[in-house]
């Protein structure tokens, strides 16, 4: 009597085309199922309600959009390999290699999500740590480092001796790249302190001023009003005295000095200046209604004028230039309509007669 048993790998190898065909069918069905699951997950993430959920789901979709295709391929390859009549050792090697590929792709996806999340977190909370290229890369490298440790553990490589060797070798490397490390840690301290953020208008004690574009591991980029970029090493930037015109408030006071003739009524001058300033609110871009305009009668008396200062507020540093120009033009026109005189300095030069004892004879007396 002939016994019938399960097919062994050796027996299955006698029919390679059937095994390969079966594995191909399994691969195709598994890939189709994985892609269908991927489509459903992405579609579900797109339907999340609420502003916060919507932002997180959008980040998840952007982070796993392409890696999820790789995951579907890895899943299909794993199921197809299990359908092949391979030995146990070969199955373990295939599974291990596919697992390593999955760890790499998952680590890259997690790093991309962490970087996007830090950017979103910083934009949603301006009062927190400023988000720069440096802070994004630090978070991304931290996630990649964790993924590398997991990968080394799967490969059977001991991590502790490597960390010890890196610690010893790191001292020599630190001495060799000390300027680079100085810029790196200075950039981290500037970013974490939160006193300077991308988009702020700053002025350094060395004279450079402009908008902060970004803070990288090596330098801080500042865009000046002439639309040029100034690259400042982080170590130099950290040692400078920095004036930030956007902290704690972007509003900036605009002071316009005005001088009138001594015969003018100070009360009338103040009333006209306030009326001009109030009428300019809404007509001049960047000119704010609050705090309200104010006029100050300067202490002391000028040589040829009564001096006043009109104080208004602009929305940000660059708004003051247009506000000053337009307000001066409006003040000059209004003073002409009201008959208020703006004096100009007058000088009288008088030459005294020379002494008879001095050579050259008497001099003339001239008045200008």
Please tell me the predicted confidence (pLDDT) of residue 171. 53
Q: Which of 304, 324, 301 is nearest to 312 (CA)?
A: 324
Inform me whether the pLDDT recorded for 350 exceeds 70. no
Q: Which of 344, 323, 341, 316 is nearest to 276 (CA)?
A: 323
308 pLDDT tier (thresholds 50, 70, 90): very high
Looking at residue 355, what DSSP letter applies? P
Task: Say how far apart CA 313 and CA 286 lie, in whole Å.
Answer: 9
Q: Which of 283, 290, 327, 285 is nearest to 308 (CA)?
A: 327
Taking CA atoms, 54 is separated from 47, 157, 229, in Å, by 8, 41, 36
Q: Which of 84, 72, 85 is nearest to 38 (CA)?
A: 72
Inform me whether the pLDDT recorded for 324 exceeds 70. yes
> Model confidence over 182-193: pLDDT tens digits?
778 788 788 777
Please tell me the predicted confidence (pLDDT) of residue 15. 61
Inform me whether the pLDDT recorded for 275 exceeds 60. yes
Please tell me the predicted confidence (pLDDT) of residue 348. 64
2 pLDDT tier (thresholds 50, 70, 90): very low
218 pLDDT tier (thresholds 50, 70, 90): confident
Fold that domain 252-338 belongs to in CATH = Alpha-Beta Plaits (3.30.70)
* Residues whose CB falls within 8 Å of the CB of residue 41, separated by 6 or more in sequence, listed in order: 64, 68
Please tell me the predicted confidence (pLDDT) of residue 312. 93
Q: Give the angle subtended at the CA of 45 by the CAs of 42 and 49, to the nearest 5°.
A: 155
Pairwise pLDDT comparison (368 vs 120), residue with the higher score: 120
Fold that domain 192-244 belongs to in CATH = SH3 type barrels. (2.30.30)
Task: Say how far apart CA 131 and CA 111 lie, in whole Å.
Answer: 16
Please tell me the predicted confidence (pLDDT) of residue 14. 47
List alpha helices for 46-87, DSSP H: 51-64, 67-83
Please tell me the predicted confidence (pLDDT) of residue 367. 41
Inform me whether the pLDDT recorded for 93 exceeds 80. yes
Question: What mean pLDDT value characterizes the chain?
Answer: 79
pLDDT > 90: what percent of the chain? 14
Coil, strand or helix at 214? strand
Reported for 88-96, long-range contacts at CB under 8 A and 24+ positions apart, including other chains, are 96/154
Question: Tokens 């208008």 appear where?
Answer: 201
Inform me whether the pLDDT recorded for 172 exceeds 90. no
176 pLDDT tier (thresholds 50, 70, 90): low
Inform me whether the pLDDT recorded for 164 exceeds 70. no
Inform me whether the pLDDT recorded for 81 exceeds 90. no
Inform me whether the pLDDT recorded for 266 exceeds 70. yes
Task: Say how far apart CA 320 and CA 326 lie, in whole Å.
Answer: 10
Please tell me the predicted confidence (pLDDT) of residue 310. 93
Structure tokens at 148: 């590398």
Looking at residue 284, what DSSP letter applies? B
Q: Which of 138, 294, 108, 146 is nearest to 217 (CA)?
A: 138
Inform me whether the pLDDT recorded for 362 exceeds 60. no
Convert 49-58 to b/e letters by CB count within 10 Å (16 or more is b): eeeeeebbbe
Inform me whether the pLDDT recorded for 3 exceeds 50. no
Task: Say how far apart CA 111 and CA 46 lie, in whole Å.
Answer: 21
Question: Does the CA dihedral 105-108-111-113 come out positive or negative?
Answer: negative
Strands 201-204 and 209-215: antiparallel
170 pLDDT tier (thresholds 50, 70, 90): low
Task: Say how far apart CA 270 and CA 278 lie, in whole Å.
Answer: 12
Domain ranges within the chain, ordered by starting residue = 15-157, 192-244, 252-338
DSSP H helix total and E strand total for the chain: 11, 8
Q: Averaged over 23-50, what is the pLDDT?
A: 80
Inform me whether the pLDDT recorded for 365 exceeds 50. no
Please tell me the predicted confidence (pLDDT) of residue 247. 83
Pairwise pLDDT comparison (42 vs 331), residue with the higher score: 331
* Residues whose CB falls within 8 Å of the CB of residue 24, separated by 6 or more in sequence, listed in order: 80
222 contacts 211 by C-beta, under 8 angstroms: yes
368 pLDDT tier (thresholds 50, 70, 90): very low
Identical fold for domains 192-244 and 252-338, yes or no, is: no
> Model confidence over 277-290: pLDDT tens digits?
998 888 888 899 88
201 contacts 246 by C-beta, under 8 angstroms: yes
Inform me whether the pLDDT recorded for 8 exceeds 80. no
Structure tokens at 31: 């890939």
255 pLDDT tier (thresholds 50, 70, 90): very high
* Residues whose CB falls within 8 Å of the CB of residue 357, separated by 6 or more in sequence, listed in order: none
Least confident range of 102-106, 108-112, 198-202, 352-356: 352-356
Please tell me the predicted confidence (pLDDT) of residue 357. 58
Inform me whether the pLDDT recorded for 200 exceeds 70. yes
């Amino acid at each position: 009597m002939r016994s019938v048993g399960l097919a062994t790998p050796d027996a299955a190898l006698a029919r390679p085309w059937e095994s390969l065909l079966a594995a191909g069918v399994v691969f195709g069905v598994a890939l189709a199922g994985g892609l269908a699951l991927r489509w459903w997950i992405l579609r579900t993430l797109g339907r999340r309600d609420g502003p916060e959920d919507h932002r997180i789901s959008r980040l998840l979709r952007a982070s796993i959009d392409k890696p999820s295709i790789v995951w579907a391929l890895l899943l299909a390859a794993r199921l197809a390999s299990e359908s092949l009549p391979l030995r146990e050792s070969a199955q373990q090697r295939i599974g291990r290699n596919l697992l390593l590929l999955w760890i790499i792709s998952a680590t890259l996806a997690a790093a991309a999500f962490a970087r996007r999340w830090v950017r979103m977190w910083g934009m949603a909370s301006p009062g927190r740590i400023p988000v720069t290229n440096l802070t994004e890369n630090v978070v991304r490298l931290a996630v990649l480092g964790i993924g590398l440790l997991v990968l080394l553990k799967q490969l059977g490589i001991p991590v502790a001796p490597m960390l010890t060797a890196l610690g010893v070798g790191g001292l020599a490397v630190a001495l060799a790249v000390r300027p680079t490390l100085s810029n790196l840690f200075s950039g981290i301290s500037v970013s974490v302190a939160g006193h300077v953020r991308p988009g702020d208008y700053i002025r350094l004690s060395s004279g450079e001023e402009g908008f902060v574009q970004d803070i990288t591991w090596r330098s801080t980029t500042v865009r000046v009003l002439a639309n040029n970029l100034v690259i400042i090493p982080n170590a130099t930037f950290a040692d400078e005295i920095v004036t930030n015109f956007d902290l704690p408030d972007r509003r900036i006071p605009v002071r316009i000095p005005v001088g009138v003739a001594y015969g003018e009524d100070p009360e009338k001058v103040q009333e006209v200046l306030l009326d001009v300033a109030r009428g300019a609110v809404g007509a001049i871009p960047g000119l704010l209604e609050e705090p309200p305009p104010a006029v100050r009668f300067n202490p002391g008396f000028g040589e040829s004028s009564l001096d006043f200062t009109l104080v208004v507020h602009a929305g940000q540093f660059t708004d003051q230039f247009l506000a000053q120009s337009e307000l001066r033009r409006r003040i000059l026109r209004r003073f002409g309509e009201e008959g208020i005189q703006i004096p100009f300095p007058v000088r009288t030069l008088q030459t005294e007669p020379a002494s008879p004892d001095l050579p050259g004879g008497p001099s003339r007396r001239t008045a200008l």
